[in-house]
Amino acid sequence: MIDASTAIRSSPPDRAWRPAWNERRARPVILLVGDDALPCADRSQALRGLAFQVVDVPNTAAAQVHPLKADLFIVEGLEQYRAHQRFYDRRRLSGEARAILIDHGDDLASRIAALEAGADDVVRHDCTVRELWARIKCVLGAHRPHRGPARHEGGVFQIVGLGRFHAGEMALHAPGAEPLHLGRVETAVLQRLCLWSPAQVSREEILDSLPPDLGETIFDRALDRCVSRLRRRLASIGGAGLIETCRGSGYKLSAPVRRIHG
């Protein structure tokens, strides 16, 4: 039997799907469609921190007249989808948009029926945002190769003008100062920035590079908060301004970095 928790519908055989969203639109539009009420606020807020333009609408009728054309509909409730399936089918078959359904019940047969009816994916209402994000990328064909391994253990970096960052020790040693001991998330973020300095690192690449347990910890909060905390700690040892924000795309280090070991 098909497991609807993992199944993802392929494109219709008679129509080629359009190019991956990151090739045709920098910030794909996602319409979160509620079931005659605004969709889950926590889910909406978390997705807004990623590379999407997210719009909340209370129902499919509002989605039909919305001025922004969606690349993806995330529909709350199977009944909302079934009641307006003709609309979603037209958008899908024309190659304009895809649909992920949020199932508020616990009926595997209903989820399988929704997939067979044309939905691209069906997820449970209690899925984490990280899982939903992975499914969005899969449905939209947005699998981008990482620029390096997902995680690194250890490594020593010389940050010019600041000191040596020992990722394995989770500490930064600045001349004439006590070692600055960092948390696991702070270490992982700074390590990713050091590995790809002077290039900028997107928010998604930082999240993808975190070990699964760390990624889940920070995923439902704005990544900016984690970076802000790291900035404050670096400023305490003379590293103010070390992490630059690349508006709308990610972060990078303002100082040169030399990899010493690892």
What is the per-residue pLDDT across 110-120, written as a single tens digit (0 to 9) for each?
Answer: 888 888 888 99
Contact by Cβ (8 Å): 18, 42: no
**Amino acid letter for position 245:** T
Residues paired with residue 259 on neighbouring β-strands, in sequence order: 157
Give which of 174, 189, 261, 199 is closest to 223, Cα–Cα: 189
DSSP 8-state code for residue 74: E
Give which of 182, 192, 197 is closest to 229, Cα–Cα: 182
Residue 91 corresponds to which tokens in the numbers above? Answer: 């958008």
Contact by Cβ (8 Å): 163, 43: no
Q: Spell out the alpha helix ranges (H) of the chain.
A: 21-24, 41-48, 60-65, 78-83, 85-93, 108-117, 129-139, 184-195, 203-209, 212-219, 223-235
What is the per-residue pLDDT across 130-140, written as a single tens digit (0 to 9) for each?
Answer: 788 888 888 98
What is the per-residue pLDDT across 213-257, written as a single tens digit (0 to 9) for each?
Answer: 665 656 645 677 888 999 999 999 999 999 998 876 789 999 999
In order of 21, 65, 159, 205, 249, the CA distances from 200 in angstroms are 21, 38, 16, 10, 8
Question: What local confidence, expressed as pLDDT, does residue 15 receive?
Answer: 39
Contact by Cβ (8 Å): 96, 81: no
Reply yes or no: is the peptide bond before residue 198 cis, omega within 30 of 0: yes
Question: What local confidence, expressed as pLDDT, does residue 224 receive?
Answer: 77
Compare 238 and 128 and report the one with higher pLDDT: 238
User: Is residue 125 left, alpha or beta, with left meaning phi > 0 and alpha meaning psi from -120 to 50?
Assistant: alpha
Quick check: 12 pLDDT over 60? no
Residues paired with residue 73 on neighbouring β-strands, in sequence order: 31, 99
Q: Please, what is the average pLDDT of the chain?
A: 81
Rounded to whole angstroms, the Cα distance separating 231 from 228 reads 5
Contact by Cβ (8 Å): 223, 231: no
What is the per-residue pLDDT across 51-110, written as a single tens digit (0 to 9) for each?
Answer: 778 999 999 999 999 999 999 999 998 888 989 999 999 998 888 899 999 998 888 888
Other C-beta atoms closer than 10 Å to the C-beta of 84 total 18
Q: Phi and psi for 138 in degrees, rounded to 5?
A: -65, -45
Q: Mapping DSSP to helix (H, G, I), strand (E, B) and coil, where does residue 132 land?
A: helix
Helix (H) or strand (E) holding 99: strand 98-103
Average pLDDT over residues 189-206: 87
What domains lie within the chain, and their CATH numbers? 21-139 (3.40.50.2300), 156-261 (1.10.10.10)
- Record the pTM: 0.61
